[in-house]
Every structure is written in structure tokens, then in C-alpha cells.
Amino acid sequence: MNERRLLLRAAGALAVLGLVPHARARSAEVVTVYKSPTCGCCSEWVKHIRASGLRVETYDLGDVSPMRRRYGVPGALASCHTAVVAGYAIEGHVPAADIWRLLRERPRVAGLAVPGMVIGSPGMEQGPPQAYATLAFDDRGYRVFAHH
């Protein structure tokens, strides 16, 4: 077997195992994003989400807080944009990998959040990255979903 054929088979095996991030099929789910029209980091986060294979619709709003309330995002977890996918709220700069995991596992939570504006999170790549956690939340509180 020649090297090229071996490499193609190896790449195919990795894709089947889900080890190649860009090999994911596009999601049938749509991520609906509510954001400020002037927020650059929100637009960068949307690019990150699209690049992962998730479909995105965006709506520019002068004030996103009514959407946070509508989807049950606690005020302590607020960030600059709110999204919804498959009935889950997504608040702030949540990495696409965490959203894919949420869609795969379907836990009994209201959503995921990365509170505030964490340097190093998707869309906030300027400067030295900070450690942060993606939090899963519901009406009883929140817990760590992933560490970054």
C-alpha cells in the first residue's frame, strides 16, 4: 500500500472517531445569537461558532438583557451576547466544542455560560489567555461544565 493511500485511510479513521474537529458534519441545529451591532468580540465569537460547523443566525439588538431574562440566564452569569440552540441558552464566549458536547450529551440544564469577558475565550483572543470555566446552569444554580 502506498503512503498516500495509508494517509487517506488514517485521516478517514480519525474523522470517523471524531478526532479531527473540522471533519464534523454541519449541525442541523441553528444557533440564534442576540448581540449588539457594535460589539466586535461578539462578531468574532460568531465566526468561531460558524467555523466549527454550527449554523448561525444573528440578530442585532440595542439591549440584549431582555433575551437573557427570556431564556433564564442568571444575572451573575451575564456577558455581552446571548444565544439559543436546541432550547439551551448560551451566554457569552462559550467555546464551540462545549456547545457540540452540550448537543451530544443533552444534559438537563437550561444552558451554558462563560460570564464576563474572559481574555483567551473564543472572540476574545487578544492578550495573554486567562484560565476560565464554562458553567452549566439551571434554576437551582450552576456547576462547572468544562475548564479552559
Q: Which residues are CB-contacts of 55 (< 8 A; sequence separation ≥ 6)? A: 26, 27, 28, 29, 30, 31
Most confident of 2-6, 41-45, 86-90: 86-90
CATH superfamily of 29-147: Glutaredoxin (3.40.30.10)
What are the boundaries of each domain within the chain?
29-147
pLDDT band at 27 (very low <50, low <70, confident <90, very high): low
* More confident site: 29 or 101: 101
pLDDT band at 102 (very low <50, low <70, confident <90, very high): very high
Q: Which residues are CB-contacts of 48 (< 8 A; sequence separation ≥ 6)? A: 95, 96, 122, 123
The string of pLDDT tens digits covering residues 31-49 is 999 999 998 889 999 999 9
Helix (H) or strand (E) holding 133: strand 133-138
